Amino acid sequence: MALNDDIAFLARQPLLSLMDRDALRLVAFAAESRTLRAGDVLFRRGEGSDGAFLVVSGAVALSRDDDGRPAEEIAGPGALIGELALFAALERPATAIAREPTQVMKLSRSVMRRVLAESPDSAAALAHAIEERLTEFTGELASVGMSLRAIDWR
């Protein structure tokens, strides 16, 4: 894809769409394109992460078990796999395997950090979005906790 096409594709992803165009341009310019064949392993559960993958075309199966069971989730075009790995070094929680010929863009954490350091408005927008997600998640956890406490365990 051409750089402008890459920028437009990145801008369609919900979290990345919060970044300004200049920041997206830098991310797109530094992104590494990978082509996978059906059955190629993108990464394995437990491996260290150094960034995220944006599915451009095709499909990637994500499985938390290594026992050969069917995938728990399928990531298709526009899916950002490993979003948190853009911001922190984490172990991969799942194994990712291409289900068919697939094109992905690798977005590295080191590039993301440099881009956000140079684009404080984009950094603030992303921080706010992640804060909102965490607030919503903790609210949901509190609700589950209240429901569990309300169960009569006798």
pLDDT tens digits, residue range 84-140?
A: 999 999 999 999 999 999 999 999 999 999 999 999 999 999 899 989 988 998 888
What digits encode the pLDDT tens for the residues 15-65?
A: 999 999 999 999 999 999 999 999 999 999 999 999 999 999 999 999 887
Q: CA-CA distance, 134 to 125, in Å (whole number)?
A: 14
82: helix, strand or coil:
coil
Domain boundaries, the chain: 3-150
CATH of 3-150, one of 2.60.120.10, 2.40.40.20, 2.170.190.11, 2.30.29.30: 2.60.120.10
Q: CA-CA distance, 128 to 143, in Å (whole number)?
A: 23
Backbone angles phi, psi at 7, to 5 degrees: -60, -45
Examine the pLDDT at 70 and tell me if it is beyond 80. no
Q: CA-CA distance, 66 to 86, in Å (whole number)?
A: 24
